[in-house]
Amino acid sequence: MGTHTTLDTMRQTRSILDGIRCADDLTIAASRDGGIRAVRLLAQAATDPGDQLTAIAAIHSLGQVFDESADDVLVSLLTHDSLFIREHAAWAFGARLPRFEAISGLLSMVVDGGFSGMIAQRTLEQWSSSVPVHVALALEGTLIGVHECGARARLVETMGLIAGRIPERLLRRVAVDGSEPNAVRAAAIAAIGDLGPNEANIRIMSDLSQGSGVLADVARLALIDLTVPAYPRPPWSRGLTVAQLFLHADIDRELSQVGAGDNGGIATLLVRLGDALVSGGSGGGGSARGGSVERVLTLSRGSFAGALTSLSEVGSSLAEHAFATVPFLGEPVASVDAWPRRIATQRGIRRILRAAGTVDAIHLRMADIGTLAASTVARELDIPIVFTVAPDPHSVIHSLDSSGVLTRANFGTVDETEHFWFRARLVQRLAADAAHTVLFPRPELRRDMRDLVGIDIRQHPERHSVIAEGIDLTVIERALADARLTADPPAAHATGATGATSAAGAAGA
């Protein structure tokens, strides 16, 4: 079908989820047709206030039309009154060759921050590989006129994504400038750790690491990034090493933070799951890897000092369940607000996986910033991904659509805060690229995955596993034993009952 016909089909889809999936057909038709007519049709659809769903699809389709007039339309959309249109235009530009007229609009979004700032930063990062000098000079000029701490930190962080003498010179200057706020200096210090070792960078990081406080901790981690190579797998290691993460909780071996903030079920699950995997694989042995799990790495958020301390445990070659910290500056934020921490998340995950040596698989779940960052690092380091696929946010979209709360006329406005389009695309990409996917049982699993997520699990059944969530009976039995001993300690001692016997009796009762 042509662009015109596909646009009509897009507008007539039965549901919002069908419309999101139809966007791929529109992109294919537009890239095949090309030309001024296709651009004109898409430009009209992109600014249609009555159908914001089709507007978003049209913007992304413009990103695939290789015509100069498509660039002109996207540049104009970067200054549109609607935030969702500016956001998706910045995203669409990531698939195009650099356009110098668009750089200022993208930098304005980085200054404003939030999810849109993250999207604009990603596009600038992609462009910097082909026109690093232009992006760096624009960033340097913008930084001169920006004084707000958070905005300056984001600009400096973006500068750290660009190679060359201009970014390196600016980062060194900011890193040692005592008049800059800590957040800005920390962004520069952390970025220097990614630039590669040379005499000047190592000297600056060494000097800063001799101090105290958070900047010294950041410098110590940057010094590790500069000087410590990635370690290969020890020759005596026979089992698998698996990584898992949840970055919206403070996870430790003792579960001391459970119940505070986001430290709930998922935090408990990862600790118990990691322990069980290591325990189950401890007796595997064998001459070749592929059966038993020897090491599990559980990644969660924390401080820079905690990240530094955890690296020794991560780098150990012992068979164990190790805990590692991805550090963030400032107070913890909710998962919905964590998207701007993409660069810091990638850097922390990369450092841990390099310190661990060879990692055989990383298990990801949920369409959040941790999954986005970890999937990027996994591709860089060639680590297979196992992804737990769930219809999220698809179930929410379907429910809101069915109730009439979410419509074509307000989809873009709602998407500004919920990021439905981005999260649905993230799930789609991860499910397609993952080495293996895991699914939870549902009464109509095949139908729901096909209708809600667009995945037909019959096509490649060897790449899908259906695994039910369970209950850790050992923990329950231990809790029953503790409760029995606490309630009636004399009786327990008098009968000579052990903890296991008490647990069995309590369970039987």
Q: What is the mean pLDDT of the chain?
A: 89
Partnered with residue 240 across adjacent β-strands are: 293
CATH 1.25.10.10 region(s) of the chain?
3-227
Quick one: pLDDT at residue 261? 56
User: For the segment 398-446, what is each residue's pLDDT rounded down to a tens digit?
Assistant: 999 999 999 999 999 999 999 999 999 999 999 999 999 999 998 899 9
More confident residue, 256 or 148: 148
The number of C-alpha atoms within 13 Å of 485 and in the hemisphere containing its C-beta is: 16
Nearest residue to 192 (alpha-carbon basis) of 151, 222, 147, 237: 222
CATH 3.40.50.2000 region(s) of the chain?
240-466
**How far is it, in rounded angstroms, from Cα 209 to Cα 98?**
38
Q: Is the pLDDT of residue 329 over 90?
A: yes
Q: Is the pLDDT of residue 55 over 60?
A: yes
Which residues have a Cβ under 8 Å from the Cβ of 171 and sit 6 or more positions away? 156, 159, 160, 188, 191, 192, 195
User: For the segment 2-27, what is each residue's pLDDT rounded down to a tens digit?
Assistant: 899 999 999 999 999 999 999 999 99
CATH architecture of residue range(s) 240-466? 3-Layer(aba) Sandwich (3.40)
DSSP character at residue 335: G
CB 239 within 8 A of CB 289: yes
239 φ/ψ angles, rounded to the nearest 5 degrees = -95, 180
DSSP character at residue 450: I
User: For the segment 67-82, what is each residue's pLDDT rounded down to a tens digit?
Assistant: 999 999 999 999 999 9
Nearest residue to 130 (alpha-carbon basis) of 86, 100, 175: 100
Which value, to the nearest 10 degrees, does the dihedral of the CA atoms of residues 432, 435, 440, 442 take? 50
Quick one: pLDDT at residue 150? 96
Within its chain, how far is the Cα of 255 from the centroid?
23
Quick one: pLDDT at residue 502? 46
Distances (CA, A) of 302 to 35, 252, 378, 508: 51, 10, 21, 42
DSSP character at residue 435: S
**How far is it, in rounded angstroms, from Cα 438 to Cα 441?**
10
**How far is it, in rounded angstroms, from Cα 379 to Cα 356?**
16
More confident residue, 491 or 178: 178
**How far is it, in rounded angstroms, from Cα 154 to Cα 121?**
9
| 123-137, 220-234, 326-340, 430-444: segment of lowest average pLDDT | 220-234
Q: What is the topology classification, in CATH, of domain 3-227?
A: Leucine-rich Repeat Variant (1.25.10)
Quick one: pLDDT at residue 290? 53
Residue 499 pLDDT class (50, 70, 90 cuts): very low
What 3-state class would DSSP assign to 301? strand
Quick one: pLDDT at residue 262? 61
Q: Is the pLDDT of residue 159 over 60?
A: yes
Q: Is the pLDDT of residue 95 over 90?
A: yes
Q: What is the mean pLDDT of residues 109-124?
A: 97
CB 285 within 8 A of CB 319: no
Helix (H) or strand (E) holding 243: strand 240-245
Which residues have a Cβ under 8 Å from the Cβ of 384 and sit 6 or more positions away? 360, 361, 362, 378, 434, 435, 436
Termini Cα distance of the chain: 68
Q: Is the pLDDT of residue 287 over 50?
A: no
No. of H helices and E strands in the chain?
Answer: 25, 7
Quick one: pLDDT at residue 288? 46
105: burial class by Cβ within 10 Å (0-12, 13-18, 19+)? buried
The number of C-alpha atoms within 13 Å of 350 and in the hemisphere containing its C-beta is: 23
415 φ/ψ angles, rounded to the nearest 5 degrees = -65, -20
**Model-level pTM?**
0.89
| 46-50, 187-191, 242-246, 488-492: segment of lowest average pLDDT | 488-492
Which residues have a Cβ under 8 Å from the Cβ of 496 and sit 6 or more positions away? none
| 225-229, 242-246, 264-268: segment of lowest average pLDDT | 264-268
CB 421 within 8 A of CB 55: no
Which residues have a Cβ under 8 Å from the Cβ of 156 and sit 6 or more positions away? 143, 170, 171, 174, 184, 187, 188, 191
User: For the segment 28-44, what is each residue's pLDDT rounded down to a tens digit?
Assistant: 999 999 889 999 999 99
Q: What is the mean pLDDT of residues 257-272?
A: 71
Distances (CA, A) of 222 to 9, 217, 284: 52, 9, 38
Distances (CA, A) of 231 to 194, 292, 329: 17, 21, 27
More confident residue, 316 or 321: 321
Q: Is the pLDDT of residue 504 over 90?
A: no
Q: Cis omega (within 30 of 0) on the bond before 229?
A: no
Q: Which two three-digit tokens encode residue 318? A: 């012992």
| 224-238, 274-288, 442-456: segment of lowest average pLDDT | 274-288
Q: Is the pLDDT of residue 283 over 50?
A: no
Q: Tell me the H-state helices in 315-393.
A: 342-355, 369-381
Q: What is the mean pLDDT of residues 133-159?
A: 97
Partnered with residue 325 across adjacent β-strands are: 300
Residue 349 pLDDT class (50, 70, 90 cuts): very high
Quick one: pLDDT at residue 317? 75
Partnered with residue 465 across adjacent β-strands are: 438
Nearest residue to 78 (alpha-carbon basis) of 65, 62, 89, 68: 89
DSSP character at residue 230: P
Q: Is the pLDDT of residue 498 over 60?
A: no
Q: What is the mean pLDDT of residues 200-205?
A: 95
Residue 497 pLDDT class (50, 70, 90 cuts): very low
- Scanning the structure block, which residue is given the tokens 């991805």? 326
Q: Is the pLDDT of residue 282 over 80?
A: no
Percent of the chain topping pLDDT 90: 71
Q: Tell me the H-state helices in 148-213.
A: 149-159, 165-175, 182-192, 199-209
Q: What is the mean pLDDT of residues 195-200?
A: 90
Residue 269 pLDDT class (50, 70, 90 cuts): confident
Residue 299 pLDDT class (50, 70, 90 cuts): very high
Nearest residue to 169 (alpha-carbon basis) of 145, 192, 193, 144: 192
